[in-house]
């Protein structure tokens, strides 16, 4: 915050007058070094002049740290993000605690801006252009070991050795490490345009410039000024100030605060589940189970179809291979995921999640069999995408026990989980369900039981209108392209295939029954033909290798608009 920067500025004045042997910067906070700027201050700027002055003030403090005539060490534990990492990069050396909770990164691009306290210069200077630009453009975070491998820090050490490592760097300061020659060469004036073009193509494949200007501004900043550090820092302030006042940054900051509110909804003490039992080994059930096991929980998957179980386990292994990488960790996650043909795990689970197909009678019959075998204090949840909880709760002796945990497909990528309360759901049950969602690193969104809940109530009219357009002869590829150009991450036709056309049909039927409207006949036809979307290999599009093959419309036709 501005207050903290002001305090740091005053302390630097005292330190500069003393000329000590060295300086170690360490945080007294138990959860991390510095988690970044005070994002609430982003909203107070009304013109670029004010924003630029604030940024230049921060740059000046970092420059003073960098210019100190004695060794400086940033001793990092926990989160070191954004402005925190920029401060660490201003130090001559960096040591970080080699623990799972240590994360280093520059996530500003996720808020619609880029580093502004000299980070664009110092990151590239420290690790080279390829790794430095990738870190800033992706917004991803690194573990201490990964940061050491790319040269972002000098040492990754256990907590008990951290002070010793910092002291050693002060008393016996080595030469400042530099990136390898090949990484430095990428920033040469002759090669910069080539790398800049490559980076633009890479960014353009993910986000359009008109909706996400920050990564493009960062690339232009580096391409034009990388050879002139002082000029680049000034240009960095100009660019960051302009970005702060864009609608994109304003909206992304708003999304950040909304996420923080949802995270807070899941912070409930006293609920620490160890065992999850998932009933249903299809796409949703299997992937929910796989995700829970990835998060360190013991998971039993109840499914009578051995082929479904086999496919669920195979998808889980692929997820773990991509996320965990190390064979030991992959095997540990696989060991936590236990196929359960008879459903014996229900008797021992702390959380039981029903994730079978969308049919009231089938779910009700399952609950009649399942509930008597559960622990009295176990959480009972349904993954229904639209059936009212009061309908499902009618078969239960204790309807206050039932809560909705509505995951979205693909489970591993969709952060949001709707925590659905029925008219008789007990408040403590809702709180425990939100805490469980938080425990498995999802964002719990509390909603009331209503047709379509919240997300599908908003989403389904959009998807159904796209289906109607397609049935009227507008090629799906045109519809999707128009939506992506508008700013959607995925077109509605491909999204319907991803959600599952059977799920779309079920939710559309519920909404039509309760709220009126029509279900497109085209949707019924595709589901009846077994074309359920990505999960079945065919929907509106075909998915031979998991990616859509979109038929190209006749070039003689002109897309509308």
Query: So where are the chain's domains?
Result: 2-255, 270-448, 459-536
Q: Does domain 459-536 have CATH number 1.10.1040.10?
A: yes
The per-residue pLDDT for 487 is: 84
Quick check: 497 pLDDT over 90? yes
Quick check: 232 pLDDT over 80? yes
Q: Using 50, 70 and 90 to split pLDDT, how confident is the model at 348?
A: very high
Mean pLDDT of 187-212: 90
> What CATH class has 2-255?
alpha beta
Q: Tokens 């689970």 correspond to what residue?
A: 349
Mean pLDDT of 436-460: 93
Quick check: 552 pLDDT over 90? no
Those residues whose C-beta lies under 8 Å from the C-beta of residue 448, and which sit 6 or more positions away, are: 420, 421
- Mean model confidence pLDDT for the chain: 92
| Helix (H/G/I), strand (E/B), else coil: 326 | coil
User: Residue 129 and residue 149: Cα distance in Å, rounded?
Assistant: 15
Quick check: 163 pLDDT over 60? yes
Mean pLDDT of 95-114: 93
Mean pLDDT of 436-454: 94
Q: Tokens 């530099």 correspond to what residue?
A: 178
Mean pLDDT of 380-408: 94
Q: How many CA atoms lie within 13 A of 119 on its CB side?
A: 32
The per-residue pLDDT for 35 is: 83
The per-residue pLDDT for 559 is: 55
The per-residue pLDDT for 30 is: 83
> What CATH class has 270-448?
alpha beta
The H or E element containing residue 106 is none
Quick check: 561 pLDDT over 60? no
The per-residue pLDDT for 513 is: 87
The per-residue pLDDT for 465 is: 95
Q: How many CA atoms lie within 13 A of 64 on its CB side?
A: 17
The sign of the CA dihedral 31, 33, 34, 35 is: negative
Mean pLDDT of 312-341: 95
112 contacts 212 by C-beta, under 8 angstroms: yes
Mean pLDDT of 126-130: 93
Quick check: 556 pLDDT over 50? no
CB atoms within 10 A of CB 371: 18
Q: pLDDT, tens digit, for every residue of 291-321?
A: 999 999 999 999 999 999 999 999 999 999 9
Q: Would you state the structure tokens that stand for residue 347, as one six-digit string?
A: 């008797």
Q: How many CA atoms lie within 13 A of 253 on its CB side?
A: 18
User: Residue 545 and residue 127: Cα distance in Å, rounded?
Assistant: 36
Mean pLDDT of 443-471: 93
User: Residue 122 and residue 426: Cα distance in Å, rounded?
Assistant: 53
Q: Using 50, 70 and 90 to split pLDDT, how confident is the model at 427?
A: very high
Q: Which residues pair with 417 in a beta bridge?
A: 444
User: Residue 556 and residue 554: Cα distance in Å, rounded?
Assistant: 5
Could you tell me the pTM of the whole model? 0.82
Quick check: 558 pLDDT over 60? no
Those residues whose C-beta lies under 8 Å from the C-beta of residue 509, and which sit 6 or more positions away, are: 519
Could you list the active site residues?
406
The sign of the CA dihedral 248, 251, 257, 262 is: negative
The per-residue pLDDT for 557 is: 56
């Amino acid at each position: 915050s501005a207050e903290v920067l002001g305090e740091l500025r005053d302390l630097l004045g005292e330190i500069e007058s003393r000329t000590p042997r060295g300086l170690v910067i360490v945080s007294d906070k138990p959860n991390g070094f510095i988690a970044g700027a005070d994002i609430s201050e982003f909203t107070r700027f009304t013109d670029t002049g004010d924003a630029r002055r604030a940024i230049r003030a921060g740059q000046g403090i970092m420059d003073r740290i960098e210019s100190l005539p004695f060794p400086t060490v940033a001793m990092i534990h926990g989160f070191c993000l954004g402005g925190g990492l920029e401060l660490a990069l201003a130090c001559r050396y960096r040591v970080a605690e080699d623990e799972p909770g240590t994360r280093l990164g520059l996530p500003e691009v996720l808020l619609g801006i880029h580093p502004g306290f000299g980070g664009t210069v110092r990151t590239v200077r420290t690790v080279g252009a390829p790794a430095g630009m990738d870190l800033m453009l992706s917004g991803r975070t690194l573990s201490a070991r990964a940061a050491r491998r790319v040269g972002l820090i000098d040492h990754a050490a256990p907590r008990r050795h951290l002070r010793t490592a910092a002291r050693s760097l002060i008393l016996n300061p080595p030469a400042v490490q530099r990136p390898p020659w090949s990484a430095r060469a990428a920033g040469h004036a002759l090669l910069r345009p080539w790398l800049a073009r490559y980076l633009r193509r890479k960014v353009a494949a993910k986000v359009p410039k008109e909706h996400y200007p920050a990564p493009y501004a960062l690339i232009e900043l580096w391409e034009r000024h990388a050879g002139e550090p002082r000029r680049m820092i000034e240009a960095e302030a100009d660019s960051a100030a302009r970005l702060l006042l864009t609608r994109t940054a304003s909206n992304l900051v708003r999304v950040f605060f909304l996420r923080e509110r949802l995270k807070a909804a899941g912070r409930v003490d006293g609920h620490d589940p160890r065992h999850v039992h998932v009933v249903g080994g299809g796409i949703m059930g299997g992937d929910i189970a796989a995700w829970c096991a990835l998060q360190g929980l013991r998971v039993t998957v109840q499914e009578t179809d051995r082929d479904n179980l086999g496919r669920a386990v195979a998808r889980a292994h692929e997820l773990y291979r991509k996320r965990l990488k190390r064979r030991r960790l992959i095997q540990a996650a696989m060991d936590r995921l236990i196929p359960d043909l008879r459903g014996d795990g229900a008797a021992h689970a702390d959380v039981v999640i029903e994730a079978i197909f969308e049919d009231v009678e089938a779910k009700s019959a399952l609950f009649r069999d399942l509930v008597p075998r559960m622990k009295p204090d176990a959480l009972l949840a349904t993954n229904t995408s639209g059936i009212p909880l009061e309908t499902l709760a009618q078969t239960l002796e204790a309807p206050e026990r039932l809560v909705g945990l509505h995951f979205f497909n693909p489970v591993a990528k969709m952060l949001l989980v709707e925590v659905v309360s029925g008219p008789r759901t007990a408040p403590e049950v809702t709180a425990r369900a939100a805490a469980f969602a938080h425990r498995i690193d999802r964002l719990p969104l509390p909603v009331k039981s209503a047709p379509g809940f919240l997300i599908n109530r908003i989403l389904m009219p959009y998807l159904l209108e796209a289906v109607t357009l397609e049935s009227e002869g507008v090629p799906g590829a045109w519809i999707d392209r128009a939506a992506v150009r508008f700013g959607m991450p995925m077109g509605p036709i491909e999204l319907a295939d991803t959600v599952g056309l059977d799920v779309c049909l079920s939710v559309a039927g519920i909404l039509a029954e309760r709220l009126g409207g029509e279900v497109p006949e085209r949707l019924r036809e595709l589901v009846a033909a077994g074309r359920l979307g990505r999960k079945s290999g065919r929907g509106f599009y075909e998915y031979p290798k998991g990616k859509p093959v979109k038929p190209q419309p006749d070039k003689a036709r002109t897309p509308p608009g």
